[in-house]
Amino acid sequence: MIEITPEKQKIIEKMAEKYGLSLVLLFGSQVKGKTHKESDYDIAYLADKKLSFEDEGRIIIDFAGIVGASDERLVNLTNVRKAGALLLKEIFDRHQIIFCSDRNAYDAYKIFAVKNFFESRPIFDLRDSLIEKYFASHAK
């Protein structure tokens, strides 16, 4: 978890307004508490508009300063709208809300993440079965 001071909160709110962000979540090792000196910061966002590659780069740089990352490469940004079922479930299973302007959107995506994961489960099981069969048939 990261500490969001009132000063940092103001910066985040300005960023959210500038880029049209309605939701920003920290997830991964920083939230789980399993960090080391070079641990990265996984940040998921929901934007009201499509962000350019340059905008995402600026957001990464801005968040690197906010979280105190020693290098911008330690900040990973994930668009919630583009995240797959497994990643979306990981994000919403355990996270820290950094910014949320629309609690209904947050709740809807949290429900969607669980529903999408369970609906995708048969595909994951099939994939696992096919991988297992492949390795069993090619093992020496």
**What per-residue confidence (pLDDT) applies to 2?**
86
Q: Mapping DSSP to helix (H, G, I), strand (E, B) and coil, where does residue 21 land? A: strand
pLDDT per residue as tens digits for the range 66-87: 998 888 999 999 999 999 999 9
- Specify whether the CB–CB gap between 31 and 48 falls below 8 A: no
Quote the CA–CA distance of 76 and 78 in Å, as a whole number.
7
Give the confidence band of 140 by pLDDT, cuts at 50, 70, 90: low
Say whether pLDDT at 13 is over 70. Answer: yes
pLDDT at 129: 92
- State if pTM tops 0.95: no
Which helix (DSSP H) or strand (DSSP E) does residue 122 occupy? helix 103-138
pLDDT at 1: 81
- At residue 97, the pLDDT reads 97
Cα–Cα distance for residue pair 14/11, rounded to 1 Å: 5
Going along the chain from its start, the domains and CATH numbers come out as 6-138 (3.30.460.10)
Q: Is the pLDDT assigned to residue 121 strictly greater than 90?
A: no
HSE-CB of 27 using CA atoms within 13 angstroms: 19
- pLDDT mean across residues, the chain: 93
